[in-house]
Chain A
Amino acid sequence: MIDLNERFSEKRNFFNRLIFVYVFFGVLFLYLIYKTFSLQVSSYTDYELASLENKTREFLIQPRRGIIYDRNGEIIVNNKPSYNMILDPENVDDINELIFEINKFINLSDAEIKNINNIFPNKKKLNREVVLKRNLTTKEIAKFEVRKYRFPDIQIAERYSRQNLYPYLFSHSIGYVGNLDEEKLQEILSSQNLKSNETIFTYSNGFLDGKTGIEYIYDDKLRGLFGKKIYEVDASGRLLEEKQVIPAVAGEDIITSLDLSSQKVAYDELNNRRGAVVAVDINDGSIVTYVSTPSFSVNKIANGLTQKEFNELINDDDKPFFDRAAQGRYSPASTIKPAIGLFGIDKDILDWEYTIQDPGFFVLPEDGRIYRGWKKGGHGEINLKDAIIESSNTFFFSLAYRTEIEELRAHLSNFGFGRNVCDDCFMPDNGLLPSPRWKMNTHNFGWFKGDTVNVGVGQGYINATPIQLAYYSAFLATKGNLNKFSFVQDSNSANKNIFTSKNITNTDWNNIHESMIGVIESPRGTAGRLRLLKDYVIAAKSGTVELVSTETKEDYQIIRETEGKRDHAIIIAFAPMPNPKYAISVVIENGESGGSVAGPVAVAVLNSLVKND
């Protein structure tokens, strides 16, 4: 027993200690309340968001891709629907019984049944739809429709694949689509303020984006905006309730300037030879024909090639993927002569009366080197107009000899050489407009006068793509007043190139046009055999690109045994004269004669264009 004093001290001691513990916990409780306050009030927004993210799942809805039309409203590229049989697994317990019932009227292959059995348990757990059968035929759809009431959990869903109605005609102009890679998808989603917590591509053929051509260049327009379905989910990821649907916005349709019928003609005329045709409406620079052959099927590329088919395309010596129209580099050869002639006029080197004596070759004074023309014995006394009609090399050798290369380059650049002339072409090549600096850098050699002389007849280092040649042709046709080329016209971005020179008058332009008309119409013209192929007037200039330099015709006969060493055939033209509307360039690799091989293709395409107007 403890005494009274001790009892008092015990009591005081007890209270002190009890209060000590209470105060200790009081402090801890204050911290606890502070902690709760900071969770619920200070960081409320963060946690509210986290809670929202926990319970919602977004599924993207793919927008319908825009349709691509030709200039007359003909559909070129469309979205082809296909039909899949989709099961909502939530109320299905025995999948085998269901498969058995369906199999009575729609045949499911063993592989399909196996696949369904594989994916069913997980899909059911998460309440995600199961694709029972893909690509139903109309007959199968009809069979299902009459029995629909027995299968409340099954529906037929549409999906779209990209379909080019003319899979070989527009391979290089419109291009093709392919599956979107993950990185690009994230980029697109973030640009539309979408998050891809989970992206399941219901019914769609995956996400597509343009890989080449117009499909690539105008991808943003064609694609449209993604929509989404927002579901509430529980912790296991099971879908509970559809909360919100934001519909997708379909992509914009695009009307191109391409002309279906001329495109067909160009494709048929090229007849799988290696070559390219580019034709434009000179009034607005719109591209109406754009073909590179041989071609390939864009539909097969977009919807999946077998490895064998792919290898065949890749290893084909004719390189069907190669877009010759925008990327093929060819010497302009004699087609450049009108531009060189104009330069002579502009710089007062000559006038239309000026003549030279053409012995069939030109001797470079510096070193006595001989530059030959195509005609043995030459063209005799000849002026600029006839030199264009008959394609005298000697005339242009001697004219080029008297020019300054830098000035000549500036002049040729106006005509589209050495620069991009197209607003919306896919990866266009700039060709080559050589300069002394370029030669020093690439060949580690100085510029010779002979190099300038070669430029005078479009040979040597200078080269251009068919689209640049078409631009050049159109530039001549418009007398130096031309829009930048495009497939899709947008008046805001029209970029006009106007040629001004006080020395070149309308008469000079008319003389050039007359000379080029003479190429076909004159008895001495190099493309005379085209005369009978049309019933209106065409201005043209043909060219033959020498791949191997030869001294005599006999030597060439030996060379042409190898097809790859034969000359390229090339022609530029515009029509109908005297008020031209279309300009064209045609290149046929190893076609040998510009006038008689490339010429008929150009005329056929122009016929189609002019006649249909």
Chain B
Amino acid sequence: MINFKNFLKDKIYIDLYLFISITLLSIMGLVFLYSASQGNIETIIKQSFFVIFGLFLMFIVSQPDPDFYKNNSAIFLIFSLVLVLVTLFFGKEVNGARRWLDLGFFTLQTSEIIKVALPVFLAAYLYDKPLPINLFNTFTTLVLILLIVNLVRIQPDLGTSLVILIAGLYILFLAGLSWRFIGISSGIFILSLPFIWNNFLEPFQRQRILTLLDPNADPFGSGWNITQSKIAIGSGGLQGKGYQMGSQAHLDFLPETETDFIFSVIAEEFGFIGVCILLSIFLFILLRCLYLAFDARDRFCRLTIGGLSLLFLSTVFINLSMVVGIIPVVGMPLPFISKGGSSLLSFYIAFGIIISMATHKKLMQK
């Protein structure tokens, strides 16, 4: 018995805190989704499959030694890059966007894979570079990030490309990008904002930003989504309207209830108390990741845990800020809650990698 327990401890790599909290979040997600999809059984069965498969995948991904990811990160990146390129030419077009590869049993959103592969690759690339990161490495990294971000942006998928950009920059920042470089490039970025506004943003994207500044200017046009979302959240009050009792969600006032605006449904039906409970689970996961990053065995592991956890943090933050009307509407799911297999699986994989980085110790550090 004792031997068996030791065997498990030695051979099975698992972080119970993360595993339990993510499982809990996934189950809550299924419960929320059932209401948000108006009780659509098919949606729930499909999502349940992804959850079970995803948890299994997370477990599998956490077993190999971090060195496996470090040594093969380039292969993963190239593989996912090929997928993205294939998508660009042969992807399934939905509403004018080519984001999905039809695999028969499952349509894969390939940008979700590269979202995880890029930070791991960058961590592997930068972990042995001297501090501060020199200009050459900074530029090669930046060029790679921008290349991939643009491949995703032209699908078009602004939300995901934004997250990939942020994830790449986190790694660069955590790896020791010089403050001087940060300062200068931030200055240039701010100065070029008007130029970006005029030349890089589509009219509908500009409209979204303007809508954010004054959603009441056109409550039935572009302000509709955000107005209805605020009404849904606000009318939930402290205790919520009750499970499946949200009129905003169930009478079609709220758009995209299963994906982008699922948080509004939760807030409407479970109120501020429900929101606080949900946010504390997210917070717990994030703090656990922070601890694991401190505890990691080497720089590669640290960078990977830091980068992937910030990727998760940013996704959550962008989604929540969007639905309460702090930032413009960009397509962004709420991790482990929103409907959508690709996004779900990518986060299970990301946490699988985090657990692998955190649980594989070396007796003697180099």
Q: Mark A124-166, 1 if CB is under 8 A from B, else 0.
A: 0000000000000000000000000000000000000000000
Residues of A within 8 A of B234 (CB): 39-40, 43-44, 46-48, 50-51
Interface residues of B in 259-294 (CB under 8 A from A): 267, 271-272, 275-276, 279, 283, 286, 290, 293-294
Give Cα A29–Cα B232 distance, bound, in whole angstroms.
20
* Segment of A8-16, A179-187, A269-277, A467-475 engaged in the interface with chain B: A8-16
Give Cα A232–Cα B245 distance, bound, in whole angstroms.
13
Q: Among B174, B235, B294, B310, which residue has its beta carbon within 8 angstroms of that of A50? A: B235
Query: A366 CB to closest chain B CB, in angstroms?
Result: 80
Residues of B within 8 A of A55 (CB): 247-248, 251, 253
Known: A15-B294, A39-B230, A232-B251. A51 touches B235 (CB 8 A): yes
Q: Is B320 an interface residue (CB 8 A)?
A: yes
Q: Is the CB of B176 within 8 A of A13?
A: yes
Q: Is A2 an interface residue (CB 8 A)?
A: yes
Q: Is the CB of B237 within 8 A of A48?
A: yes
Q: Is the CB of B238 within 8 A of A40?
A: yes
Q: Is the CB of A233 within 8 A of B235?
A: no
Interface residues of B in 205-244 (CB under 8 A from A): 228, 230-238
Q: Is the CB of B174 within 8 A of A10?
A: no
Q: Is B299 an interface residue (CB 8 A)?
A: yes
Q: Among B175, B231, B293, which residue has its beta carbon within 8 angstroms of that of A51? A: B231
Residues of B within 8 A of A54 (CB): 228, 231, 247-248, 251, 253
Give Cα A211–Cα B305 distance, bound, in whole angstroms.
80
Q: Is the CB of A33 within 8 A of B279?
A: yes
Query: A30 CB to closest chain B CB, in angstroms?
Result: 11
Known: A2-B130, A25-B317, A36-B324. A17 touches B173 (CB 8 A): yes
The tally of CB-CB contacts under 8 A between chains A and B is 126
Known: A6-B131, A32-B326. A233 touches B173 (CB 8 A): no
* Segment of A234-242, A284-292, A545-553 engaged in the interface with chain B: A234-242
Q: Is the CB of A236 within 8 A of B128?
A: no
Give Cα A48–Cα B279 distance, bound, in whole angstroms.
23
Q: Is the CB of A25 within 8 A of B237?
A: no
Query: A170 CB to closest chain B CB, in angstroms?
Result: 49
- Most chain-B Cβ atoms within 10 A of its Cβ — which of A39, A43, A44? A39
Q: Is the CB of A17 within 8 A of B251?
A: no
Q: Among A9, A19, A235, which residue has its beta carbon within 8 angstroms of that of B252? A: A235
Q: Among B174, B238, B320, which residue has its beta carbon within 8 angstroms of that of A14? A: B174
Interface size class of B (residues with CB under 8 A): 35 or more
Q: Is A41 an interface residue (CB 8 A)?
A: yes
Q: Is A536 an interface residue (CB 8 A)?
A: no
Q: Is A1 an interface residue (CB 8 A)?
A: yes
Give Cα A44–Cα B247 distance, bound, in whole angstroms.
15
Q: Is the CB of A32 within 8 A of B230?
A: no
Q: Is the CB of B326 within 8 A of A31?
A: yes
Give Cα A15–Cα B176 distance, bound, in whole angstroms.
11
Q: Is B119 an interface residue (CB 8 A)?
A: no
List 7 tightest A-B contacts by C-beta distance, closest first.
A47-B234, A51-B235, A235-B252, A234-B251, A39-B234, A40-B272, A47-B235
27 inter-chain pairs at a CB distance below 8 angstroms, sorted by A residue, are A1-B128, A2-B130, A7-B299, A10-B299, A15-B294, A18-B306, A21-B174, A22-B290, A29-B279, A29-B317, A31-B326, A33-B275, A35-B325, A36-B272, A39-B324, A40-B233, A40-B236, A41-B237, A44-B237, A47-B231, A47-B233, A47-B235, A48-B237, A51-B232, A52-B235, A54-B247, A234-B253
Other 10 A-B pairs with CB < 8 A, given A39-B324, A234-B253, A236-B252: A11-B302, A14-B303, A17-B173, A17-B174, A18-B306, A21-B173, A25-B313, A35-B324, A48-B237, A51-B235
